[in-house]
Amino acid sequence: RMSRHAQQLRDHDINPCVVESDASRKCLDDNNYDKNMCTAYFLKYKNCRKFWHNIMMQRKRNGVKPEMPSAEERRKMLESM
């Protein structure tokens, strides 16, 4: 059984970067944990976190709840860009 924290990290409504995180982990697994082979995946994850963190901070400043948009809301936001 996963810890509550681990479950939250797997929850697409809470963590907007589950896909990028999984891709990074898979790359490490596939490349015998040679981090140099996975730089592009790490960068995508870092950019994802930075992007959604900025959105979250903007919503917080504007008093929008929840601060992190749901997975469905995020999908629509990305499609509109």
Q: Where are the domains of the chain?
A: 16-80
Condensed to tens digits (0 to 9), the pLDDT of residues 50-78 reads 999 999 999 999 999 999 999 999 999 99
Instruction: For residues 23 and 29, give the distance between their C-alpha atoms in angstroms, rounded to a whole number.
Output: 10
Instruction: For residues 81 and 77, give the distance between their C-alpha atoms in angstroms, rounded to a whole number.
Output: 7
What pTM value is reported for the model?
A: 0.85
> Which residues 6+ apart lie within 8 Å of 30 measured at CB?
none
Q: Which long-range contacts (CB under 8 A, 24 or more apart) does 15-18 make?
A: 16/48, 16/52, 16/68, 16/71, 16/74, 17/45, 17/48, 17/49, 17/52
Residue 25 has pLDDT above 80, yes or no: yes
